[in-house]
């Protein structure tokens, strides 16, 4: 059935819905960092060492859920359609978050293990939001305009971290941590209603008619050396984003204290500033990419900024609380290249694998936070908190620059191709 919507209206609605979906995604993802200490104390975990260890465990369960969910929703997105993911993922997330609030409200549910199960399921649910939204927007918009659309989705979406900061107590108590989780669940349910009327991608619909085209075959990413190289390279480019969020500022009380700040920095406040910077950085990186007519040059610019902020964190971050929080905002701005990063992931692969890639890549990057925190924990004994954090940072930045160097330019590439075909690169005239 042909949609009565005009292409422009369909694309605009897709941008709005995708941005709101990513908003809820980031709200939940950052909310745990905001309420980590309060929620663990609320279920009976009281010692500083236990709060750090159990907090890392819960964070890793959430990230692990996103890793599993990225594969699940990515395959569904290429086999059943982008819209099936947009509806299914937010439903699962909403149920999990409402249950998460019960962990604090019902005595029988107050345990780290029940909390961890809720975080795992919520992570699986949220994993499809960004990838499906970016894929749909990329395929509905024109080749020159899609960078603007995906930038708006990514930049406005991360502002969900700002709301999570206010609700989670970045600047003082607002609501109880259980209520904060209930808010996330209700937001998700409201978003379901807004998704009525969104149309499916025409590119996917045409691919669906071609019985000979293999769709959503995750293992196909590993059967061709060049395809695997592209896949790993774009994942590597995104790793520093979650190093900055998951190590430098999620663990800001521990690392800030080790740097000499007393009292230790407030993690909720640091993450609030990080996501405020990320919102502005997302807009800046996206529009820089449009101006330069290049994804790679914009990514390189912001990766260099990320490296500079990381260096400043370990050298002068312990000078004052004011400087530490300033670095949190600057770190967020530098990692705002996430907007260009997810656009590039969508543009690198054909329609029959695009949802799989665009959904798994950001979630594998998020999942890398598990490896980063495990590495940080393992090295903390011999190197100390500062040495361990710095070593993990050097590693994450090194693989990002290596990955970026191997990627091809994708600005204005024609997305109407299958992975078995060669993508149609833009001509000099098309690029401008």
User: How high does pLDDT run on average in the chain?
Assistant: 88
- How many domains does the chain divide into? 1
Between CA 170 and CA 249 the distance in angstroms is 13
* Segments forming the whole domain that contains residue 31: 7-202+217-431
| Residue 1 within a domain | no
Checking if the pLDDT of 421 tops 80, the result is no
| Residue 207 within a domain | no
Structure confidence by residue, pLDDT tens digits, 206-242: 888 887 778 888 999 998 899 999 999 999 999 999 9
pLDDT for res 164: 84
Structure confidence by residue, pLDDT tens digits, 56-77: 899 889 888 988 999 999 999 9
pLDDT for res 178: 92
The residue among 5 and 60 whose pLDDT is bigger is: 60
Contacts of 361 (CB under 8 A, 6+ apart): 70, 131, 231, 234, 235, 238, 342, 345
Instruction: Write out 152-183 in H/E/C secondary structure.
Output: HHHHHHCCHHHHHHHHHCECECCCCHHHHHHH
Structure confidence by residue, pLDDT tens digits, 34-54: 788 889 999 989 888 898 889
Here the contacts of 304-312 (C-beta below 8 Å, separation 24 or greater) are 305/330, 305/333, 305/334, 306/240, 306/241, 306/244, 306/331, 306/334, 306/335, 306/337, 306/397, 307/397, 308/334, 309/244, 309/334, 310/240, 310/243, 310/244, 310/248, 310/393, 310/397
Q: Which residues pair with 370 in a beta bridge?
A: none
pLDDT for res 424: 60
| Residue 253 within a domain | yes
| Residue 79 within a domain | yes
| Residue 385 within a domain | yes
pTM over 0.95: no
| Residue 397 within a domain | yes
| Residue 210 within a domain | no
- Looking up residue 158, the CATH number of its domain turns out to be 1.20.1250.20
- CA 238 to mean position of chain CA atoms: 9
| Residue 209 within a domain | no
């Amino acid at each position: 059935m042909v949609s009565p919507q005009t292409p422009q209206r369909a694309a605009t609605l897709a941008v709005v819905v995708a941005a709101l979906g990513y908003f809820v995604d980031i709200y939940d993802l950052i909310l745990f960092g905001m309420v980590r200490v309060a929620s663990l104390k609320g279920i009976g975990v009281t010692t500083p060492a236990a709060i750090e260890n159990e907090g890392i465990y819960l964070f890793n369960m959430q990230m692990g859920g996103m890793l599993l969910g990225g594969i699940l929703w990515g395959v569904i997105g290429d086999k059943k359609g982008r819209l099936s993911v947009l509806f299914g993922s937010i439903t699962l997330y909403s149920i999990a978050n409402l249950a998460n609030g019960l962990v604090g409200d019902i005595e029988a549910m107050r345990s780290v293990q029940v909390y961890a199960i809720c975080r795992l399921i919520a992570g699986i649910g949220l994993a499809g939001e960004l990838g499906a939204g970016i894929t749909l927007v990329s395929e509905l918009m024109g080749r020159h305009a899609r960078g603007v659309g995906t930038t708006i989705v990514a930049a406005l979406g991360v502002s969900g971290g700002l709301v999570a900061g206010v609700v989670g107590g970045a600047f003082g108590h607002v609501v109880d941590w259980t209520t904060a989780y209930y808010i996330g669940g209700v937001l998700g349910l409201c978003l379901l209603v807004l998704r009525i009327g969104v149309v499916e991608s025409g590119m996917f619909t045409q691919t669906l008619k071609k019985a000979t085209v293999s769709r959503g075959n995750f293992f196909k990413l590993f059967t061709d050396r060049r395809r695997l190289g592209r896949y790993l390279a774009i994942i590597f480019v995104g790793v520093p984003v979650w190093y900055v969020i998951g190590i430098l500022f999620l663990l800001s009380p521990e690392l800030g204290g080790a740097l000499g700040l007393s009292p230790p920095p407030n993690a909720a406040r640091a993450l609030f500033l990080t996501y405020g910077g990320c919102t502005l950085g997302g807009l800046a990186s996206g529009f820089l990419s449009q101006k330069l007519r290049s994804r790679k040059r914009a990514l390189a610019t912001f990766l260099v900024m990320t490296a500079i902020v990381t260096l400043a964190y370990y050298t002068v971050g312990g000078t004052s609380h004011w400087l530490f929080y300033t670095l949190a905002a600057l770190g967020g701005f530098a990692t705002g290249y996430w907007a260009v990063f997810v656009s590039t992931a969508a543009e690198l692969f054909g329609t029959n694998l695009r949802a799989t890639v665009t959904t798994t890549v950001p979630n594998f990057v998020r999942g890398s936070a598990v490896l980063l925190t495990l590495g940080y924990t393992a090295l903390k004994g011999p190197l100390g908190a500062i040495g361990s954090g710095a070593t993990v940072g050097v590693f994450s930045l090194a693989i990002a620059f290596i990955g970026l160097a191997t990627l091809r330019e994708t600005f204005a590439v024609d997305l109407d191709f299958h992975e078995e075909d060669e993508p149609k690169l833009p001509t000099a005239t098309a690029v401008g």
